[in-house]
Amino acid sequence: MDIIESILNIPVQDPPEEEFSSADLSWSKFGTADRHDNVALIPYARVDAFIIGECSNVECPTRFHIERGRKRSKGSLKEYKSDEYLEYRLYWCSFGPENYGEGGGILPSRRYRLNTRNRAARPQSMRGCTCHFVVKRLYARPSLALLIYNDRRHVNKSGFVCHGPLDGDAIGPGAKKVPYVCNEIQQQTMSMIYLGIPEENVLEKHIEGLQRYGDSNATVNILASQYVHKLGMIIKRSTHELDLDDQASIRMWVERNKKSIFFYQDTSETNPFVLGIQTEWQLQQMIRFGHRSLVAADSTFGIKRLKYPLCTLLVFDSRRHALPVAWVITRSIAKPDVSKWMKALLNRVRAVDPGWRINGFLIDDAAAETDPIRHCGLTTFILSWLRNIVKRCSNIEVQREIFKRLGKIVYSIWDGVDYSVALKELNQDFVDQTSFVQYFNASWVPKIEMWLTSMRNLPLASQEASGAIEAYHVKLKVKLYDDSHLGALQRVDWLVHKLTTELHSSYWLDRYADESDSFQNVKEEYIASTSWHRALQIPDCDVTLDDKDHLFAKVVSQKDSSLTHLVWNPGSEFAFCDCSWSIRGNLCKHVVKVNIFCENRQEFQPSMSCQSFKEILTNLWRKPTEDSISLDLSMAWTQQILEQIQKLVELNSSNDIGCVVNNMPLKWIAKRGRTSVGKPPSALALPSSSKSNAIVPKRNRKRKRLSRLR
C-alpha cells in the first residue's frame, strides 16, 4: 500500500451503520517511509459510534477506556501541521495496559501458572492487553477525527491473544476453560458479596454476565460457581488489619492499591497524615457527572469517634443523588495540605479529560480552606447549623426558635437589615444556651461577614442538593457504625477497608442497577433514598397551611393517616419538623414537601437559592453599558449558559436514563453488544423508555422553572 504524506489525500469515511468498527473502515498508511501509522478519517460526530462498534468485537468483546488525553484551545497555535490535534485521546482496551499483581508492581502477562500460594490475589481483569488506538480531533478541521490504530490485535506483549474466547492459554490450572471475568462482572460479583447478597443470587448474576462474553455450558457454570464461592471466601477472610500496627497496615494497603490512591503523605515531623482515595470507577464517575456541574464536600461531622476525620467529595449523578467520588482521610484542614491533595486530584482528572472543570463547589464547613477552587464556592451549611443546635440545646422549642433566628440573620442579606443587631439579640436571648452560643460565636461569628457577603454573590445550594448530600452522610454513618463495637473506629485501615469495600460496592451497585435496569429492588431503594424523592411521593392534599401567620404547616403522616407532623417556619430553609428524623438534626421529607408546596405561593418568600439566583441575574443584567463590547460578550455568554442549562434540564427530566448514559464516556457502561457469541444480553441491555416510565418520579418544580426561563 502506498504511503500517503498529506492528510488532505485521505478520504473521509462515514459508514451508514449505526455502529461500526475498524473492520468497516479502510485504513491508509500515513506518514513517511520510515515512520507511518495506520489511520482513517471519520466525522468527529461518529467517534462514539466507532468506539461502541470496537467494543462489540466478536472475538474479543471488551470496553475501551481513556488512558490519556490532551487538549488545546482553538486559536492557540500560529503554525500547525495538518494532523495537529485540537483534542487527543488515547483509548486502551480495558484488559490492559498493565497486569497488576500483588504489591502493585507490574507483572508481565504469563502463559503459565506461577508457583505462588496467593494466585487469587491477582485480578483476572488486567491481562496486559496492548490493543489501543488514538482519536485526534483535528486542529485545522475540528469536524473530523483522525483515528490512529496500529495495535489492533488483543494480544499481550508476548503476542498471545490475552482475552476473549480465542485465548486458549490462561493463567492458572484449569484456566483454559475458565471464562474471563472482565472488570465490570468482577466488580458486580464483589459488590454483591460485600453487600451480603446470598451466594446463589450472586452466582446467577455472575453467569448472566459471563454469557455476554462467551458460550455458557455445564463446565463454565461449575467453574463460575467455584469462582464465586472462592471470591466469597477470600472476601470473608480478608481483614483490614494487614499489620497489628495501624500505621504499618496502612502503608501496606497503600503499597497494594496504588491505582486507587491519588495522594498519600505519611506522618512525619513536618507533614501530617493525608490519604486520598479514588478508585478507577470513581474517577470515571467524577468525569461523567462532575464536568460542568457541582462537586460537594461532606465532612464527618458527628462521626467524631474516628481516629482521623474523613472528607468525601461528592458529585450529583443522573438522578441528582450524591455519589462519592473521592475520600480524603486527614486531620489537617490547613490550606497548604488541602491544596496539595486537591491539586493532585484535579491533575488526575485532567490527565484523562483535560477540558474537565466544575461549575460550583459546595462546602459544609466554614473552617475548611478550599483555595484551589474556592472562587466557585457554594454553601450547604444550614444542616450543619441544625445539627449543632440539636446537639447543643435540649429543648425543642428553643431549638426551633434559634433556628428561626438564624434564618432571620441570613435572610437579612436580601432584606437590607443590619445583621449585627439580630446577632446581638440572638446572643442576649439565648444566653442560657451556653454550649450553642459558644460554638456559634467561636466557629461562625468571626467569619460571618465574609460568609454573608459571599452568599450574596455566590449561588447557594438548593434543598435538593442538601438533601442528596445528607442521604450520603446518613448512609456513611450507618455503614461505619455497623460494627463500631469492635472499637474499629480508631483504626485508619478499618476505615479505608470499609470505604473501599462495602460503601464503594453499594454505590457501584446502585448506579449499575439504575443504568442497566436490573436488580429492581436495589434500584427502587436507591431512587427513594433521598428526602427529596420521598417528599415527591406526598400528595398536595396532605399538606395544610396555617393561613393566618404562616407559623406552621401540617403534613399528614404517610404511614399512619391519623397522625400529622408540624413543620415550623414553612417555606424557608430554616423550617423545622417535629418528626423523629428532623428532631435528630436531619432534613426530613415533610420539610422538603412543605417547601416545595410553598414555593409557588406569593405570600412566601422565595428560597435562598432562588434569591441568590435572582440577585445574580439582576447583576448580570445591570452590568453592560449600551452598545458596548461587554454587552455583546454578556449576550454571548448568557446564550451559552442558557443552552447549557436547557441541556442539563433535558437530561434530568429524561425518562430514559439510557439516553443520558449513551452520551457519557464508555467505560463501565453496559452497551448493547453486537456479539454473536452467547445469549442476547437481556439482563444487561439498556432500559427502553417504556420500561422505566413507571419508576421515574415526577419532575420537580425547580427544573420546570428553569426550563421556562427561555
When asked if residue 582 is in the footprint of Zn ion (CB under 5 A), the reply is yes
- Sort 358 into a burial class: Cβ within 10 Å, 0-12 / 13-18 / 19+: middle
Q: Which of 418, 406, 357, 405 is nearest to 382 (CA)?
A: 406
Q: For residue 95, state whether it binds Zn ion (rule: CB under 5 A).
A: yes
Q: Which three cell numbers stand for residue 457?
A: 454573590
Query: Which span (94-102, 187-195, 327-335, 614-622) binds Zn ion, by CB under 5 A?
Result: 94-102
Shortest Å, Cβ 593 to Zn ion: 9
CB closer to Zn ion, 91 vs 262:
91
353-382: contacts with Zn ion (CB under 5 A): none
Smallest gap from residue 129 Cβ to Zn ion (A) = 3
Do 684 and 212 touch, CB atoms closer than 8 A?
yes
| CB 576, min distance to Zn ion, A | 9
The minimum distance between CB 171 and Zn ion, in angstroms, equals: 15
Return the H-helix or E-strand segment holding 611: helix 608-622
d(CA 2, CA 223): 50
Q: What is the DSSP letter of 572?
A: S
For residue 662, with 0-12 CB atoms within 10 Å meaning exposed, 13-18 middle and 19 or more buried, which class applies?
middle
Cβ closest to Zn ion, residue 234 vs residue 566: 566
Q: Residues in contact with Zn ion, total (CB under 5 A)?
A: 12
Q: Which residues contact 472 (CB under 8 A, 6 or more apart)?
A: 298, 312, 314, 322, 323, 324
Name the segment binding Zn ion (CB under 5 A); options: 31-39, 92-100, 568-576, 674-682: 92-100
Nearer to Zn ion, 135 or 413 (CB): 135
- Site mask, Zn ion, residues 521-560, x = CB under 5 A? ----------------------------------------
Q: Hunting for cell 441544625 — which residue is that?
A: 386
590 binds Zn ion (CB under 5 A): yes
* Number of neighbours of residue 200 by Cβ within 10 angstroms: 9
Distance CA 272, CA 261 (A): 17
Contact between 312 and 472 (Cβ < 8 Å): yes
294 or 382, CB closer to Zn ion? 382
Which range binds Zn ion by CB under 5 A, 55-63, 276-284, 300-308, 513-521?
55-63
Residue among 108 and 446 whose Cβ is closer to Zn ion:
108
Establish how many alpha carbons lie within 13 A of residue 548's alpha carbon, considering only the half-sphere containing its beta carbon: 0
164-203 residues near Zn ion, rule: CB under 5 A: none
Interaction of residue 488 with Zn ion, rule CB under 5 A? no
- Smallest distance from the beta carbon of 156 to Zn ion, in angstroms? 9
State which of positions 304-343 bind Zn ion (CB under 5 A): none
User: Which listed range, 123-131, 443-451, 521-529, 702-710, lies at the site for Zn ion (CB under 5 A)?
Assistant: 123-131
For residue 410, state whether it binds Zn ion (rule: CB under 5 A): no
Minimum distance, C-beta of residue 163 to Zn ion, in the bound complex (Å): 6
Determine the Cα–Cα distance for residues 235 and 238; give it in Å rounded to an integer. Answer: 5
* Min dist. Cβ of residue 559 to Zn ion (A): 12
51 binds Zn ion (CB under 5 A): no
Min dist. Cβ of residue 205 to Zn ion (A): 24
Q: Closer to Zn ion at the Cβ: 10 or 129?
A: 129
Burial label for 431, CB within 10 Å (0-12, 13-18, 19+), is exposed
Residue 278: helix, strand or coil by DSSP? coil
Tell me whether residue 182 or residue 193 sits nearer to Zn ion (CB atom): 182
Site string for Zn ion, 58-77 (x = CB under 5 A): ----x---------------
Dist. CA 593–CA 565, nearest whole Å: 12
Question: 392-423: b or e for each residue (b if 16 or more CB lie within 10 Å)?
Answer: bbeeeebbbbbbbbbbbbbbbbbeeeebeebb
Residue 588 is a binding residue for Zn ion (CB under 5 A): yes
Considering Cα of 424, then 430, then 432, then 434, what sign does the dihedral take? negative
In the range 212-271, which residues lie near Zn ion by CB under 5 A? none
Candidates 579, 660, 669, 685: give the one binding Zn ion (CB under 5 A): 579
Name the one range near Zn ion by CB under 5 A: 86-94, 141-149, 394-402, 509-517.
Answer: 86-94
Choose the binding region for Zn ion from 300-308, 478-486, 496-504, 572-580 (rule: CB under 5 A): 572-580
Considering only residues 124 to 163 of the shown chain, the ones binding Zn ion according to CB under 5 A are: 129, 131, 154
What 3-state class would DSSP assign to 639? helix
**Strand (E) or helix (H) holding 90:** strand 85-93
Binding site for Zn ion (CB under 5 A): 62, 93, 95, 129, 131, 154, 565, 577, 579, 582, 588, 590
